[in-house]
Every structure is written in C-alpha cells, then in structure tokens.
C-alpha cells in the first residue's frame, strides 16, 4: 500500500516579499518523511482571503493531510482561522477552552488578555485544538487541515503535538551515489534504471568543484533492498 499523502500551505505576505525566509516547509518535510507520509505539494500564498480559501479547499480534497503555517496571531492581517472556517462553511468565535489556555498563560506573566490577544482563541466550530507548549496560543485541526503558527519554534512544537495523531506509512529511505561523469552520459543508464524500478524515485543533481564535475544520483524509496540493488546496477554501469 502507498503512503498517506500531504500538502502544505505557507501563508504570509512577508514570505512572498522576501522579508522572511521560510524554514517551516523544510522542517515539516523531514518530519513527514520519517513518519512515512509523502509531502506532495507546497504552496506559498499571501494574506488574501480568496487565495487561502481556494488553496485549502483544493488541497484538502486532493491529499490525506494538509498543514498550514502562519496567520493565526493577534493582528488584523492574521486571517487564517477565518479562512479555514469559511473553507468548510463552519462558524468561528472565541472558544472557552482556548480562552482558558490563554488566560492561564497571560496570568502567569501579569499580561492583560486584551481584545487583540483574544483573537487567538477564535476557533472554528468542530475543530480540535493543537497544543502549543511554547507560547500557549493553540493551533487547531478542522477536517484534515492542521492549522499552525508561522514562528518556527512554535510551528515545530505544534508539529510534535500533531505527528502522534497521524497514521503514517513506511519511512522514506534515501541513498546517494556520486558519479564523475556529465549528465549527458548519465542520463541514458539512469533512465533505463528508473524504468526498471518504477517504485523508486531517482534524481540527478550536478556538481562542479575543484576541477571535478559530475552528479550526485539520489535514489529514494520505501524498500531498502530495492534501493541497494538499483545502486549496484548503477555503479556497474559506470565502473
């Protein structure tokens, strides 16, 4: 059986403008790979209601799991929660359990739970909360969409909360062979090998350093024996 599939939506004008470098996709990809969940698509969208809703609706229908990052803070441009609710025709309001989490957190530091901070307790009807041990404000899951913060430390903590609740598959194994030949020489044998092993993913990544050139051939799959057999044949082709 094939592994479950996943997609990610990175939300924020600051990502698209280049002001902020996204690291959440890289982190999530690694975690899902270890869990045996295949990340198939990533979209980066701005803080635009229609664009977010369209992406959520399309991806939630196409993949087993969807993960979002960004746009669930206390400011006016944090519109992700409202967009997720609209995507599934769910109502949204301040929820008592989310309010209680924030109230306890801010009481410890003597900080007022004002109207802006209370925005982070607005949760769509029917959603389950995602724990946030870093800054308390919860994420949430609605249907198959997991909504998490954009701040990397908080995102990573939320991913750790979510992963045990997901059904994974066989972890993806990756092995690399360095070949000091041009890709024009590599392409033929590599293409034939890819046809022989259709369940493996094979990629060629060129390098040129210290007067040497060639490519790193990366073979990925779920069955280590098949990967090893393919590597042996590839090595023999360029002995």
pLDDT at position 211, please?
87
Out of 3.30.70.890, 3.40.640.10, 3.40.50.300, 3.40.980.10, the CATH code matching 5-165 is: 3.40.980.10
Phi, psi of 138 (to 5 degrees): -80, 155
Query: Which residues does 45 contact at the CB level (< 8 Å), separation at least 6?
Result: 9, 10, 11, 16, 51, 52, 55
Q: First-to-last CA distance in the chain?
A: 35
Contact 147, 190 (CB under 8 A): no
Least confident of 77-81, 168-172, 174-178, 216-220: 168-172
pLDDT at position 2, please?
84
| Two tokens, residue 26 | 């890289």
Residue 146 reports pLDDT greater than 70: yes
- Per-residue pLDDT, averaged over 198-202, amounts to 93
pLDDT cut 90: percent of the chain above it: 92
pLDDT at position 171, please?
86
- Per-residue pLDDT, averaged over 69-89, amounts to 96
- Per-residue pLDDT, averaged over 74-89, amounts to 96
Sign of the C-alpha dihedral computed for residues 80, 85, 89 and 91 taken in this order: negative
Phi, psi of 21 (to 5 degrees): -90, 125
Tell me the CATH number for domain 173-237.
3.30.70.2860
Confidence of residue 222 (pLDDT cuts 50, 70, 90): confident
Query: Which residues does 196 contact at the CB level (< 8 Å), separation at least 6?
Result: 230, 233
Contact 235, 180 (CB under 8 A): no
Confidence of residue 1 (pLDDT cuts 50, 70, 90): low
Rounded CA separation 174/222 (Å):
9
pLDDT at position 209, please?
87
| Two tokens, residue 61 | 């229908």
Give residue-wise pLDDT tens across range 92-133: 999 999 999 999 999 999 999 999 999 999 999 999 999 999
Sign of the C-alpha dihedral computed for residues 61, 64, 68 and 72 taken in this order: positive
Instruction: Give, as one character, the DSSP assignment of residue 173.
Output: E
pLDDT at position 125, please?
97
Rounded CA separation 48/183 (Å):
42
Residue 210 reports pLDDT greater than 90: no
Contact 106, 113 (CB under 8 A): yes
Give residue-wise pLDDT tens across range 23-47: 999 999 999 999 999 999 999 999 9
pLDDT at position 191, please?
95
Q: Where in the chain is CATH 3.30.70.2860?
A: 173-237
Q: Where in the chain is CATH 3.40.980.10?
A: 5-165
Mean of pLDDT over the chain: 95
Scan for tokens 């769910």, then name that residue.
Answer: 90
């Amino acid at each position: 059986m094939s592994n479950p599939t996943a997609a990610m939506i990175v939300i924020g004008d600051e990502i698209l403008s280049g002001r902020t470098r996204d690291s959440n996709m890289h982190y999530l990809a690694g975690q899902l790979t270890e869990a045996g969940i295949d990340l198939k698509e990533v979209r980066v969208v701005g803080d635009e209601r229609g664009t977010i809703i369209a992406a959520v609706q399309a991806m939630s229908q196409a993949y087993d799991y969807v993960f979002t990052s960004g746009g669930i803070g206390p400011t006016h441009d944090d519109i992700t929660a409202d967009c997720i609710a609209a995507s599934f025709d769910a109502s949204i309001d301040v929820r008592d359990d989310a309010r209680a989490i924030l109230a306890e957190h801010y009481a410890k530091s003597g900080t007022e739970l004002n109207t802006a901070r209370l925005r982070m307790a607005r949760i769509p009807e029917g959603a389950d909360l995602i724990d946030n041990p870093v800054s308390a404000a919860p994420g949430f899951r609605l249907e198959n969409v997991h909504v998490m913060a954009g701040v990397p430390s908080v995102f990573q903590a939320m991913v750790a909360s979510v992963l045990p609740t997901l059904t994974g598959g066989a972890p993806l194994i990756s092995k690399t062979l360095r070949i000091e030949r041009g890709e024009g020489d590599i392409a033929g044998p590599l293409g034939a090998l890819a046809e022989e092993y259709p369940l493996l993913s094979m990629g060629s990544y060129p390098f040129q350093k210290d007067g040497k050139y060639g490519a790193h051939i990366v073979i990925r799959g779920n069955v280590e024996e098949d990967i090893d057999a393919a590597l042996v044949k590839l090595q023999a082709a360029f002995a």
